Amino acid sequence: MSNKSKYRTVNTTLGKQPNIGPFPAEQLIPWAIICGVSYYLAHGLFRLNWVWTCGIAAWGISTWWVLTANGSWKILSKFIATPHWTRACISYQQILHSHQQLNTRNQNETKSRKTHRR
């Protein structure tokens, strides 16, 4: 019998992050707002030319993308060190003993002392 699953994948995009071209879809609305604010500030308020306006918009968009992007799009995630996991087999030893366990242990020790005296 083959290892193929019983179910056929109909929609391959299920479970994946929505994209518009190479850009994540959840970034488009904030980018539009950043472009509008940079146009108002650079072109409208400070009377800068289009090169400066587009440069300020690109700077704002790239900053927003670095700070808020998820998954593989997050540029700063590659600078975070991943933990080094190691498997180990250690027997469990309880640090704190309950009152009942201490009484049982004391009784067992006194019994063993009595048997060793004889």
Residue pLDDT, tens place only, 35-77: 999 999 998 999 999 999 999 999 999 988 888 766 555 555 5
User: H/E element holding 49?
Assistant: none
pTM: predicted TM-score of the whole model, two decimal places: 0.51
> What percent of the chain has a predicted confidence (pLDDT) above 90?
27
d(CA 62, CA 46): 22
Three-state SS at 91: coil
How many helices and strands, by DSSP H and E, does the chain display? 3, 2
Q: Taking every pair of C-alpha atoms in the chain, what is the biggest distance, in angstroms?
A: 105
